[in-house]
């Protein structure tokens, strides 16, 4: 099959081709090279958050949002703040947020743009509703169900492997400004929860991270020790009845320690 030398077209002709092409295909083209990405961002079908309106961003599908995250990482703009929330719970979820702002950090809402997407970790044996398809993550074909514009449900034979794979993938994919580990043991399987919790702890730079523990009264002593003992965080938030749960033998460090039930610091 002969290849069409698209990028060799005169600029005016190339611009018209880009403008008449579906945005998802344009995003794929932008990922093919820095040169193609640069050219695309000179048109009205741009793929950079600094060029797209919030309305255009809101219309992007879940897979396209994931790809825009990759593009923003390649562009390495200092005006994009990248954060990840990893929730270790009955349904573990990676929530990625990209915030683009113009001017200083204390800008108005009108000067900010948001892009959010979630990847959930599920067993391939679960009866998750929706049509299954394959997407490629980090050179691996992963079965998924697209649940909404913001949600992708990834399916794995081994849940712990899936959590480890996604953790490594996003650490390599995104230069993160902040990470938050959200732990909720209520309704979880003990051994599986413990395994994913250990994977999560290996994945993040905890000195700059936020740890949030919900339903701490359901936390096993071994898991609680795993997540707080001799570990330093930026902030630790505890939601629930902590009485008797955080023992004196557990040592942890944080710039801020908050008990949400007490609505204050302790």
The answer on pLDDT for 75 being more than 80 is no
Distance of CA 243 to the CA centre of its chain: 33
The answer on pLDDT for 86 being more than 90 is no
Q: What is the pLDDT, as a whole number, of residue 266?
A: 32
Q: Decide the pairing of beta strands 132-137 and 231-239.
A: unpaired
| SS3 state of residue 28 | helix
Contact at 8 Å (CB) between 19 and 45? yes
Q: Burial level of 134, CB count in 10 A (0-12/13-18/19+)? A: exposed
- What proportion of the chain, given as a percentage, has pLDDT over 90? 28
CA distances from 264 to 28, 133, 239, 243 (A): 47, 46, 11, 15
Going through 124-251 in order, the beta strands assigned E by DSSP cover: 132-137, 140-146, 151-156, 178-183, 210-214, 231-239
d(CA 83, CA 198): 20
The answer on pLDDT for 249 being more than 50 is no
d(CA 216, CA 257): 14
Please write the tens of the pLDDT for every residue from 198-223: 888 876 665 568 888 898 888 888 89
Q: Decide the pairing of beta strands 178-183 and 210-214.
A: parallel
d(CA 266, CA 259): 7
Residue 242 φ/ψ region, left for φ over 0, alpha for ψ in the -120 to 50 degree band, beta for the rest = alpha
Nearest to 6 by CA among 63, 30, 24, 49: 30
Judged by average pLDDT, the poorest of 115-124, 184-193, 239-248 is 239-248
Task: Show me where the domains of the chain are located.
Answer: 1-47, 52-84+91-178
d(CA 196, CA 163): 7
DSSP labels, 68-87: HHHHHHHHT-TTEEEEEEEE
Q: What is the mean pLDDT of the chain?
A: 82
In 3-state terms, the chain is what percent helix, strand and coil (to 5)? 35, 30, 35
d(CA 53, CA 151): 21
């Amino acid at each position: 099959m002969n290849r069409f030398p698209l990028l060799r077209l005169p600029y005016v002709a190339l611009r018209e081709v880009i403008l008449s092409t579906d945005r998802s295909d344009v995003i794929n083209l932008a990922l093919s090279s820095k040169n193609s990405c640069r050219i695309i961002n000179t048109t009205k079908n741009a793929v950079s958050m600094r060029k797209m309106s919030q309305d255009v961003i809101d219309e992007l599908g879940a897979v396209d949002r994931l790809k825009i995250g990759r593009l923003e990482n390649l562009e390495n703009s200092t005006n994009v703040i990248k954060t990840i929330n990893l929730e270790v719970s009955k349904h573990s979820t990676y929530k990625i947020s990209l915030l683009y702002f113009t001017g200083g950090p204390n800008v108005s809402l009108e000067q900010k743009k948001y892009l959010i997407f979630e990847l959930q970790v599920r067993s391939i044996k679960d009866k998750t509703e929706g049509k299954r398809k394959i997407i490629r993550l980090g050179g691996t074909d992963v079965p998924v169900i697209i649940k909404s514009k913001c949600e992708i449900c990834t399916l794995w034979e081994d849940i712990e492997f899936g959590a480890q794979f996604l953790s490594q993938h996003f650490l390599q994919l995104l230069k993160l400004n902040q990470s938050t580990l959200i732990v909720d043991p209520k309704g979880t399987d003990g051994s599986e929860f413990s395994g994913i919790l250990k994977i999560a702890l290996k994945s993040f730079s905890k000195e700059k991270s936020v740890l949030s523990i919900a339903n701490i009264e359901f936390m096993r002593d071994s898991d609680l020790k795993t997540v707080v003992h001799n570990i330093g965080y930026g902030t630790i938030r505890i939601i629930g009845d902590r009485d008797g749960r955080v023992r004196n033998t557990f040592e942890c460090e944080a710039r801020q320690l908050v008990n949400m039930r007490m609505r204050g610091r302790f």
